[in-house]
Structure 1
Amino acid sequence: MDVKLLAVVAALTVLSHAPPSQAKPISLGERCYCSSTVKGLPRGIIRELRFIHTPNCPFQVIAKLKSSKEVCVNPEIPWLQQYLRNAINKMKRSKRGN
C-alpha cells in the first residue's frame, strides 16, 4: 500500500472517531458594527443612511457622509427619530393604498 494513502486513511480514521468539539465558532455576522456613536451630527452633511438590526446588537444607524466617511449615529437623535417615524408612516400609507 502506498505510504501517502495509508497516511490519509489513518488521518480520516482518527478524525472520524474524535469527540466533537464543544467550542463555538466566532461568527463575523454576530459582531456589532457600531462600537461607539456620534451624538451631534447635522443632517446636511449626510449622503445616505443605513439601518442594521441584528439579534445580538442594538439597532444601529450608519451614516455615509458627503466626504464618503462612514460614522455610526446615535439612534436617539431627535431628527433621526422623526425621520424614522415619517418613514414608517409612509410605508403604512403605501400598504393601505395597495
Structure 2
Amino acid sequence: MTTSLTTIKVEKGVRDQLAEVARSRHTSMRALLAEFAEQAARDQRWAEIDAAYTRLQDDPEQWADYLAELDSWDKGTGEADELAAEEWPEYQQ
C-alpha cells in the first residue's frame, strides 16, 4: 500500500506547538495530525447528530413519534428470543 503525502503550510508557532505535543506523546507530527483529524471528524459527526436531535425536538409531533418508536424498541416482543439464545449461549448464564 502506498501512502500519498502532501505539504501544508502553517505558522511557525503552530508547527512548534504540534512538534512539542508530538514529542511529549512520543509520536510523530504525522501521527499526531492523523489523530487530531480523526478526533475532529468524530466531533463533527456528534455535532451533526446533536443538531439533528435539536431539530427533531423543535417539532413536538415528530419528537413524540420518535419517543414512541424508541419505547416500542425498548419493549420488544416481551418474549425470549430462542434463536438468539442458541446463537449466543454465553449470554444465557
Compare the two structures and name the one with the higher strand fraction.
1
TM over 0.5: no
* TM-score, structure 2 normalization: 0.30
Higher relative contact order (CA 8 A, sep 6+): 1
